[in-house]
């Protein structure tokens, strides 16, 4: 089972040499992907709104970071995890993704979500209530744009008249994987996604959700054998045994890869590298 390294955006700091050293360590340790999280704005709590991340949590800009990582690594694949797609102009995302894929030699996987932070949507002047429908149409439009051919498209959210993206990406199209575990997201993922990245435990509830996904894949005539699955192991505790059990659970459920998603802070750089080593050891056992 492949291992993904989550870019420690909240703790890595702002020194480019440290970011380079961390990425190269992940590659040298045999991780197959580096996954970069996404938030444009930090949002302070207000009323009943208590954000998972707030105005004190640093998030490096996703595409700029991915482009930097492409330049300082050689073979490790790069992915967004997850880009809140409906907050952004579709053509700009398609262009940025194409450029990262080109500069990395075809190593990009675009992980997308619809998000949970309505305050961020409002600050970006984007529509919260239609985010799911917009995401689906965005993916359709991006896949057309990644061909390099002239695109004409008339939809609910997009109107394109003979436009294209040049240079196009290496991958045509770039793989698009979905984050999120609501029923609507799972159905959309099965219909138009290339893979799924759930933040769920590999327990009975997780197995039920995976069953729903596979049922939709069958309904839509998708090939189960080529559809991707990456389990995100979200942990608030530094507990190697629990990480190992979760990794083994996702392997049992058919995941091709897993990623440790630590919610605890890791302020020291040496401990960020050590975390990669520790996770690799327990996930491989």
Is the pLDDT confidence value at 154 over 90? yes
User: Measuring CA to CA, how many Å separate 228 from each of 2, 36, 44, 196, 285?
Assistant: 12, 18, 35, 6, 22
Say whether pLDDT at 207 is over 90.
yes
* pLDDT range class, residue 280, cuts 50, 70, 90: very high
Residue 148: pLDDT band (50, 70, 90) is confident
User: Concatenated DSSP letters for 114-174?
Assistant: --S-HHHHHHTT--STTHHHHHHHHHHHHHHHTT-S-EEEE-SS-EEEEE--SSPPSSSSP
Q: Set out the domains of the chain in order of their start, with CATH numbers.
A: 2-284 (3.20.20.30)
**Tokens, residue 131:** 């985010």
Phi/psi of residue 83, each to 5°?
A: -75, 130
pLDDT tens figures, 74-94 = 999 999 999 999 999 999 999
Percent of the chain with pLDDT over 70: 100
Q: Tell me which DSSP letter residue 40 carries.
A: S
Q: Is the pLDDT of residue 285 over 90?
A: no
Model confidence at 141: pLDDT above 90: yes
Strand, coil or helix: 100: helix
pLDDT at 284 over 90: no
- Pairing type for strands 108-113 and 176-179 reads parallel
């Amino acid at each position: 089972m492949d291992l993904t390294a989550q870019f420690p955006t909240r703790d890595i700091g702002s020194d480019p040499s440290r970011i380079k050293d961390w990425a190269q360590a992940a590659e040298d340790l045999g991780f197959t992907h580096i996954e970069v999280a996404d938030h444009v704005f930090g949002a302070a709590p207000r009323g009943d709104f208590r954000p998972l991340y707030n105005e004190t949590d640093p998030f490096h800009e996703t595409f700029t970071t991915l482009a930097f990582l492409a330049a300082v690594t050689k073979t490790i694949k790069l992915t967004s995890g997850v880009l809140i797609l409906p907050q952004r102009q579709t053509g700009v995302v398609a262009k940025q993704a194409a450029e990262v894929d080109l500069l990395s030699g075809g190593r990009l996987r675009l992980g997308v979500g619809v998000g949970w932070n309505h305050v961020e949507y409002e600050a970006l002047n984007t529509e919260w209530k239609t985010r799911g429908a917009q995401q689906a149409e965005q993916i359709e439009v991006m896949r057309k744009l990644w061909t390099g051919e002239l695109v004409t498209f008339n939809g609910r959210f997009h109107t394109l008249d003979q436009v294209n993206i040049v240079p196009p990406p290496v991958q045509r199209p770039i793989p698009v994987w979905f984050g999120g575990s609501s029923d609507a997201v799972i159905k959309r993922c099965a219909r138009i996604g290339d893979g799924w990245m759930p933040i769920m435990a590999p327990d009975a509830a997780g197995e039920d959700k995976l069953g729903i996904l596979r049922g939709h894949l069958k309904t839509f005539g998708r090939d189960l054998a080529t559809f991707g699955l990456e389990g995100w192991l979200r942990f608030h505790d530094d507990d190697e045994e629990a990480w190992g059990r979760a990794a083994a659970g996702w392997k049992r459920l058919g995941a091709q890869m897993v990623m440790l998603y630590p919610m605890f802070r890791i302020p020291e750089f040496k401990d960020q590298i050590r975390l990669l080593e520790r996770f690799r050891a327990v996930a491989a056992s």
